Amino acid sequence: MEVKMFLKIKVSLLSLLMLLLIGCSSSSGTADMNNSTTSVTKTPAVAEAALEPCTETLNVELANDGPYAITTPDSFQGNCEINFTVKNYAALVHNFQVLQTDLAVDALPLNEETAMVDVEAAGELLYSSKDLEQDETETGTLKLEAGEYILFCNIAGHYQLGMIKTFTIN
């Protein structure tokens, strides 16, 4: 009688163990299937998002963090139309230039007569503001591709005094 009872318990435990193993393997199979479905679903969404146009806003502060500072984020989302606002906080006149170049930020060529960056020799000037008086603001729009750009003030001597910044479009 004890042997029969022992066999019934053993069979019951083995059956229960088998059910648990089957349940676990099918649930992990479901998880794998869900993960692959999720990644398949996300892939087209990412591709579509990259193709959709977008608009971003960028604030550029001239001399707000020092007399020759250009304050912006270090990087920005690319493939967007960028609406920007440039404001000069200083008593000195400043301007704002966006340059695309392969040159290092500290190696831009200078025009010795004017003490200004020789933008024609430096690369492609994508934007140039007017000279801005204290508290004056200018707005503009740019479409920038992914890459590195140089932002600087091209008032005589300001580049040499460090009014320059690299800017990355992701």
Q: pLDDT of 54-108, one tens digit each?
A: 788 899 999 999 999 999 999 887 778 899 999 999 999 999 999 999 999 999 9
CA angle, 73 then 77 then 78, to 5°: 125
Residue type, 122: A
Q: Which residue has the higher pLDDT, 151 or 28?
A: 151
Place of tokens 């603001």: 137
Neighbours of 38 (CB within 10 A): 10
Predicted confidence at residue 137, as pLDDT, reads 98
CA distance 105 to 108: 7
Q: Where are the domains of the chain?
A: 1-52, 55-169
| Average pLDDT over the chain, rounded to an integer | 79
Mean predicted confidence (pLDDT) in 44-62: 66
Domain 55-169 has CATH 2.60.40.420: yes
Tokens for 137, please give them: 């603001």
Q: pLDDT of 12-38, one tens digit each?
A: 544 544 444 444 444 444 444 333 332
Predicted confidence at residue 31, as pLDDT, reads 40
CA distance 113 to 33: 69
Render the burial of 44-65: b for 16+ CB within 10 Å, e for the rest: eeeeeeeeeeeeeebebebbee
CA distance 159 to 71: 15
